[in-house]
Structure 1
């Protein structure tokens, strides 16, 4: 599905997604990826089942106020021990499917929030 911004921006926005990719500012990314308002980087876990505590702990260095965890085409919730470091730092963690993640991220970025999208596809 394609998503369109109301106006051009210097910030990252999701412009499309599919079963195994997301597009950020028209640039296609496959595999696990972290997307912030001004950054895009690969992310270590290759699947939801591969998530470890360290994967969430490393996100603290990016100083998000909220992390959107995209869990592929269906919603899955990580065990609370995995995201404990974020919750202790008072960083919100919201799990959702990738389509909801893309829409939510774009809204939060437009509101100048420090949002971080952590995208997985399986």
Structure 2
């Protein structure tokens, strides 16, 4: 059997999640950030789900996703209904999960060439 390494056709992938941060490619990020397969926006304002407002979702939506992944930190915590509505009222799906699950899901969706954007709270 021949095995072939396939390099993704996107720029950013998530390689690890720990208490110290998230590893994007070979770089550890320790502050909240937004990620699309070809876009990285560092120093996203909210640091915790309790700080997240509908206005904070706008930079994610500006990237024209079909689905938004929201990494809520080390554990699953849901945002306010107003934050969820910022996506849902525009017909954009939003999935909330802990950061480790969001990282795995992001990589799968990006590999499938889906229009995914993720926001990670750190």
Q: Which residue of 2 aligns with 1:38?
A: 38
Q: Which residue of 2 aligns with 1:62?
A: 63
Q: Which residue of 1 aligns with 2:96?
A: 95
Gaps of 5+ in 1: 1-5
Gaps of 5+ in 2: none
Secondary structure of the equivalent of 1:62?
Answer: coil
Q: Which residue of 2 aligns with 1:110?
A: 111
Aligned length: 116
Give the TM-score normalised by the residue count of structure 2.
Answer: 0.88
Give the TM-score normalised by the residue count of structure 1.
Answer: 0.88
1:10 Cα deviation (Å)?
Answer: 4.1
CA distance in 1, matches of 2:113, 2:84: 24
1:44-66: CA deviations, max 9, x gaps?
11221111110113322110111
Q: Which residue of 2 aligns with 1:3?
A: none
CA distance in 1, matches of 2:19, 2:57: 23
CA contact (8 A) 2:34 2:60 kept: no
CA contact (8 A) 1:16 1:26 kept: no
Q: Which moved more, 1:57-66 or 1:99-108?
A: 57-66
1:19-59: CA deviations, max 9, x gaps?
13111112211110001010111211122111111011332
Q: Which moved more, 1:102-111 or 1:20-29?
A: 20-29
Runs of 4+ in 1 over 6 A off after TM superposition: none
Q: Which residue of 2 aligns with 1:83?
A: 84
